[in-house]
């Protein structure tokens, strides 16, 4: 595979990861954890492929073109891929001590989804070439990211309810973390599998809508993350828990510092700015 095609296959997903990482304004997630989740997302392609082969053989309906497209999209592709992504997301991050803010769920969900998309995209681009790379850069790769955003929204809700001891809320968010991405993915793939002119128009319209909705949700949860800590919901509670949150004077990133450390030099995790503070 030529290096130019490989770059075209990888760059869209990496740009999405960079965008989400920049949106994480409160306690940025460790880069090592993000890389780990990207790798796990790529590995989820293996069980997903096996599950899809089984579903294709036993559950895809061939009574009509629409029935085939919908059953293949929802039962084979969307169900298998999103369940496998969620399983690897859970295994790779649920017990991680850095998972303490609602937006973290979005960072983790998108990382796993993009990891899956990167490997899948490399395989498709290697076979289809330059035109496939361009088409998938604006359609299929963002589609996986959209699913990762909404999986992450509900995944973050799962952790919040788990910390608060709300088992019912946790179950509802678990259902949402699977059902919403499956619906998004299945709808997209149904239009793609039908492949006629009307379906193509609907596919483009659906993707455009998802761009707007996903960006809106990412921005919303990024803005609200200050008040979405699972253990620290206010400055008073932060102090009681032996930590305090302040903002970098250069970029505005929120940083957590220990209480009672006295005069210290703080290095911003986003921009690298060093400044003096008292806690």
Burial of 249 from C-beta contacts in 10 A (0-12 / 13-18 / 19+): exposed
* Whether the model pTM is above 0.95: no
Query: Under a CB-based contact definition with an 8 Å cutoff, are residues 185 and 150 in contact?
Result: no
For position 97, what pLDDT does the model report?
A: 87
For position 212, what pLDDT does the model report?
A: 97
CA–CA separation, 111 and 34 (whole Å): 6
Place of tokens 């993000």: 34
DSSP string, 100-165: -BHHHHHHHHHHHHHHHHHHHHHHHHHHH-HHHHHHHHHTHHHHHHHHHHHHHHHHHHHHHHHHHT
For position 242, what pLDDT does the model report?
A: 56
For position 226, what pLDDT does the model report?
A: 74
Query: Under a CB-based contact definition with an 8 Å cutoff, are residues 92 and 40 in contact?
Result: yes
CA–CA separation, 20 and 63 (whole Å): 42
CA–CA separation, 255 and 268 (whole Å): 7
For position 240, what pLDDT does the model report?
A: 45
Looking at the chain, the number of H-run helices and the number of E-run strands are 11, 4
Place of tokens 């659906």: 206
Q: Which residues of the chain are modeled with pLDDT < 70?
A: 228-244, 252-254, 270
For position 265, what pLDDT does the model report?
A: 87
The whole-angstrom distance between residue 5's C-alpha and the CA centroid of its chain comes to 24
Name which of 153, 149, 136 is nearest 17 in CA terms.
149
- Angle 83-67-188 from CA coordinates, rounded to 5°: 50
């Amino acid at each position: 595979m030529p290096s130019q095609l490989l770059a075209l296959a990888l760059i869209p997903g990496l740009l999405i990861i960079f965008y989400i990482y920049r949106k994480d304004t409160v306690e940025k997630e460790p880069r090592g954890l993000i890389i780990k989740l990207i790798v796990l997302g790529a590995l989820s392609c293996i069980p997903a492929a096996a599950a899809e082969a089984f579903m294709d053989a036993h559950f895809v309906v061939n009574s009509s073109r629409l029935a085939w497209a919908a059953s293949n999209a929802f039962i084979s592709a969307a169900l298998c891929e999103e369940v496998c992504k969620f399983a690897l997301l859970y295994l790779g991050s649920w017990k991680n001590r850095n998972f303490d803010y609602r937006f973290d769920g979005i960072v983790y969900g998108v990382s796993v989804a993009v990891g899956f998309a990167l490997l899948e995209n490399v395989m498709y681009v290697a076979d289809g070439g330059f035109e496939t790379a361009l088409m998938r850069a604006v359609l299929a790769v963002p589609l996986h990211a959209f699913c990762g955003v909404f999986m992450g929204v509900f995944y973050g809700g799962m952790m919040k309810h788990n910390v608060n001891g709300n088992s019912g809320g946790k179950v509802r968010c678990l259902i949402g973390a699977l059902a919403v991405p499956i619906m998004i993915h299945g709808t997209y793939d149904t239009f793609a599998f039908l492949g006629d002119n009307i379906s193509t128009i609907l596919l483009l319209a659906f993707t455009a809508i998802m761009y707007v909705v996903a960006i809106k949700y990412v921005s919303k949860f990024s803005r609200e993350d200050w008040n979405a800590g699972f253990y620290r919901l206010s400055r008073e509670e932060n102090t009681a828990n032996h930590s305090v949150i302040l903002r970098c004077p250069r970029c505005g990133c929120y940083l957590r510092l220990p209480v009672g450390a006295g005069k210290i030099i703080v290095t911003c995790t986003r921009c690298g700015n060093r400044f003096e503070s008292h806690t």
